[in-house]
Amino acid sequence: MRKTIAGTAAVSVAALAFGPAAPAAADSIGLTDPQDTFHGSDLRAVQVKNNDGAVVVITNHTNLRRDWRSGSAGAVYIDTDRADHGPEYVFVGGFYEGTDYRLLETEGFGHKKWGAAAEGYHQMSVDYAKDQVRMRMSREALDNPGKVRVAVRVSGTRSDGSSAGLVDWLREPHSFTPWVARG
Ligand SMILES: [Ca+2]
Ligand SMILES: [Ca+2]
């Protein structure tokens, strides 16, 4: 399956325009993901912004629904420390109406590795018209990271209640985006 890295192209153009003074790495990156299923949770794109005030992760989907029966949910694993193997945080949330979200510390992938709640501002919002989920974390909540990268897993439930085949990772399971430098 073909993947594109929109952020890389944008940075190359910026580097040409501004010469050696331009930053070596992007402070935001966008990756697309193919349509793997027709379920509303299906992941189509991920954007990561490593801003001065906050880290923002925006995911786009096929057709998000308010209905709880969609079962749509996501886990964004955040790697903030190269020296410590795997992700240090996970932002988990339901994408249907009435669900909650949490930012947790984690020792790796999978809910058995999830730990205590992270301390600091974080917020999630779902835009059903845009099929978009926006997760925002303060730098303090992530222990003031430099570069960050994320791995994204979404899932859903079929109308018959089963969820077989409805897990969709950005690229491959447990694979991270490139590192995104602090802006
Ligand atoms: Ca997909
Ligand atoms: Ca790490």
> Which amino acid, one-letter code, is at 46?
V
Q: What are phi and psi of 21, to 5 degrees?
A: -75, -15
CA of 142 to the centre of ligand 2 (A): 12
CA of 147 to the centre of ligand 2 (A): 11
CA of 149 to the centre of ligand 2 (A): 9
Ligand (nearest to CA of 61):
1
pLDDT digits (tens, 9 = 90+) for 1-32: 444 444 444 444 444 444 444 455 669 999 99
Ligand (nearest to CA of 82):
2
CB-CB contact of 18 with 44 (8 Å)? no
Report residue 8 as tokens. Answer: 């890389």
CA of 164 to the centre of ligand 1 (A): 15
pTM, rounded to two decimals: 0.84
Residue 124 has pLDDT above 50, yes or no: yes
Angstrom distance (rounded) from CA 4 to CA 30: 8
Report residue 158 as tokens. Answer: 């079929």
- CATH numbers and ranges of domains, the chain: 6-169 (2.60.40)
